Amino acid sequence: MARKKLHSQDLLKIGEMAKLAGVLPSTIRYYTEIGLVEPAGTTPGGQRLYDKEDTLSRVRMIKNIEKQRLPLQTIKKIIENHRAKKL
């Protein structure tokens, strides 16, 4: 899959991403740990950076699916299937 070129304004630190998405930073961290979202890069100091558009879209999708009371592992499979269809 061709990766789009990211500009610094497209990348957000975890706190900025969480605020924009309306979730706690710990939620973004947890989603990252279990593979629901992926950082687009890191700062020189090692802080994770998230693609604003992709991560916001993904978090919103996760939150909408969570309303159906599905476990996160099921949500992960749904997202993986969604990602595979895009390829």
pTM over 0.85: no
pLDDT tens column, 18-58 = 999 999 999 999 999 999 999 999 999 999 999 999 999 99
Q: Give 42's strand partners.
A: 48
Query: How long is the chain?
Result: 87
Q: Which pLDDT does position 50 carry in this prediction? A: 96
Domains of the chain: 8-86 (1.10.1660.10)
Sign of CA dihedral 43, 47, 52, 53: positive
- Report the Cα 66 to chain-centroid distance in Å: 15
